[in-house]
Amino acid sequence: MAEKKQFKAESKRLLDLMINSIYTHKEIFLRELISNASDATDKLYYKALTENISEINKSDLTIDLAFDKENRTLTVTDHGIGMNKEELEEHLGTIANSGSFKFKNETESDDIDIIGQFGVGFYSAFMVAKKVEVSSRAYGSDQGYTWVSEASDGYEIFETDNLPTGTTIKLYLKDNTEEENYDDYLDQYHIESLVKKYSDYVHYPIKMDVTTSKKKEDSDEYEDVVENKTLNSMVPLWKRNKKDIKDEEYNEFYKDKFNDFSDPMKVIHTSVEGNVSYDALLFIPSQPPMNFYSNDYEKGLQLYSRGVFIMDKASDLIPEHFRFVKGLVDSQDLSLNISREMLQHDRQLKVIADRIEKKIQSELTNMLKKDRETYEKFFKNFGLQLKFGIYQSYGMLKDKLQDLLLFYSGKEEKMITLKEYVENMKEGQTEIYFASGETKEKISHLPQVEAVRDRDFDVLYMMDNVDEFMIQMMRDYDSKAFKNVAQGDLNLDSEEEKKELEKVNEDNKVNFIDRTIEDNAEKFSQALLKKTARDFIEKFDYKAALDILDQLSDFPNLKSLREEIRDVVNCLSKKKIAYIREKLYDFSRVFKNQSILSDILSFPLDDSQKKALNYYLMIDVLKEREHIADVLIKAKSLAEFVIEEIIKKDHEGLIVFDGNLPKLNPSFPDKVAHGLSEIDTRLLSRKKLKQLSENLRLLLVDCLGIDSSYFNYYDKQNKELTKMLE
């Protein structure tokens, strides 16, 4: 009969602390037990290498999981070094005595990755288990032993015959409570997901018998089949040689890991050796996440330690101005707290964060120099964040970020850098001229801009709300002060020219705002304004058109025209668009009672058709305004709405499920399925928006029966509006 032993008083208090306080999430126990199993396997493999033991084959070194729902047990088995009686006593009877840490200090092999260091991970098992049973036989020993404990009741050790080399840990799970459902750890799919989340890159196969449903041969019936399945991928992508990794592998990894539909715009894969060593795999998304500029968005990189997942959002590893970067860092040198759930703020952390920041900055600089087209796409999506970085740092990040900024050049009619502006300054020019406004069209019509442009000076267009605040923080660039053309003296060459400019500005002001049509010059001015208003209407920029109409002198139809356009502006207000953006995750509420244009209510459509057509028309407007990100988000939402709310009711077999995720059935012989597949594959390509629009039309016509003539609503309306201007 085995002797019951008590934990030492200090150990008992520590054990209580372990169970109740150290770990935030109970599910972490499986990560800890698998990490211990990996360490034990590493020790045996190291012994085989150093002692040239041929009978130990690495392919046989697996970690096995098993669960028994009837007896409520979960088992973790390794085929590693094992433990004798004294080692069981030393490592399990003395809390925080880490055999892995001791082994790590005694060996200096780069081939062995020992994970454990604190000697407390094993006891996390008691967070979910009322009883833990450890059976082990040390390599080279004939006798096995079993360690059993119910935590507060101490432990006992007794001899056990016929044990294989290695260690088996059997957890007798606690009974369910109102707060905790311990049955989750007996669920095949939940166990698989925990292994995938925390231990996917443990470099030994983690295996488990899983039950799958398969079709019987020569029959339409299904049967349950038990297969021994490897649950982890073992080799992390970021540990492989970059030369051996295809772009497709990076893209698939990114989309799977970070739940994006599109390929990343840029992949940054770097490995650093030195006092602080780490691997980093970073991605710049091709478009901003839907909640990027909201308080709900959390920046940060995934953190791994020797391939073991530690935390999801390590915010200290990425600076705020690069918050758009997604990715991960794997380092053996970071100091973690005892639970390995969070970082300790130390020098190593700061070193890694600084190097990552410099790497991102360097990659963006290279992109700007070598791939201008891609960089401009990047800046359109994330340039605002760089500007916020300068503004929010009160200019302290100016030197880091100023050469990454782009602004629209009125002279060049394209995006340019501040460096390019300065290099092209006229002789004698001492200031950088800029003008602020909502759109390029509005800025270009400012009299002050025209006057500066007439002098052959370039003007930078500032169209983001943060621009002027950022400029105030920057003050200058390359010792050239920034000058707002709409404020103060423009420092033009002569007093005569200054007086002439003032006269021109005053005349333009009168002509633009409140002149009556008295002569041919005035008639020309009015005609020009009408043409400008017409251009804005055709581009669906109704707000800009309304601004022009408000400055026209009275003529027949002007009042009614203003009212018509004002109604449209109100319907397409930013407030309403923002509301829809916030509700995108709930498709039914997005479309419910959210008519974009009140005129659609008069169409002979049912509610589902009205909702879908409303959304399609908004997509069309946003497309013409070149709000690409909004177009893509809303197009995907529309397709998903139709799939989930409409098609599944009328087209049986179109939707199949991969786990819990709905997907299109590729074998479904319907052109609707083809249309949706095309949307899915073409959706995130900006160059194929025309095809996207056609597919959306196909979807709505074929599935909802919307008459194709309704899609021309804006074209018809715009023709009527422009007629009123004639």
Q: What is the per-residue pLDDT for 445?
A: 86
Task: Kindly state the tokens that stand for 580.
Answer: 């829809």
Buried b (16+ CB within 10 A) or exposed e, 646-680: bbeeebeebbeeeeeeeebeeebeeebbebbebbe
Contact 49, 135 (CB under 8 A): no
d(CA 274, CA 278): 9
- Strands 431-436 and 326-330 come out as unpaired
Q: What is the per-residue pLDDT for 113?
A: 47
Which positions ≥6 away from 446 have C-beta within 8 Å? 435, 437, 485, 486
Q: What is the per-residue pLDDT for 155?
A: 87
Q: What is the per-residue pLDDT for 341?
A: 46
H, E, C per residue of 657-698: EECCEEEECCCCCCHHHHHHHHHHHHCCCHHHHHHHHHHHHH
Q: What is the per-residue pLDDT for 582?
A: 41
**Which residue spans within 395-479 are E strands per DSSP?**
407-409, 414-416, 431-436, 460-462, 476-477
Q: What is the per-residue pLDDT for 163?
A: 94
CA-nearest of 628, 685, 681, 631 to 381 is 628
Q: What is the per-residue pLDDT for 678?
A: 47
CA-nearest of 525, 381, 386, 374 to 447 is 525
d(CA 313, CA 311): 6
| pLDDT tens by residue, 187-226 | 999 999 899 888 888 889 999 999 988 888 877 788 888 9
- Strands 476-477 and 460-462 come out as unpaired
CA distances to 419, 455, 509, 706 from 425, rounded to whole Å, are 10, 12, 28, 56
**Rounded to the nearest 5 degrees, what angle is found at the Cα of 545, between the Cα atoms of 686 and 524?**
120
Coil/strand/helix, residue 65 = strand
Regions in the chain scoring below 70 on pLDDT: 1-24, 93-120, 152, 334-346, 488-528, 538-541, 567-611, 614-615, 618-696, 699, 702-705, 707-718, 720, 726
Give the number of other Cβ atoms within 10 Å of residue 393's Cβ.
Answer: 16
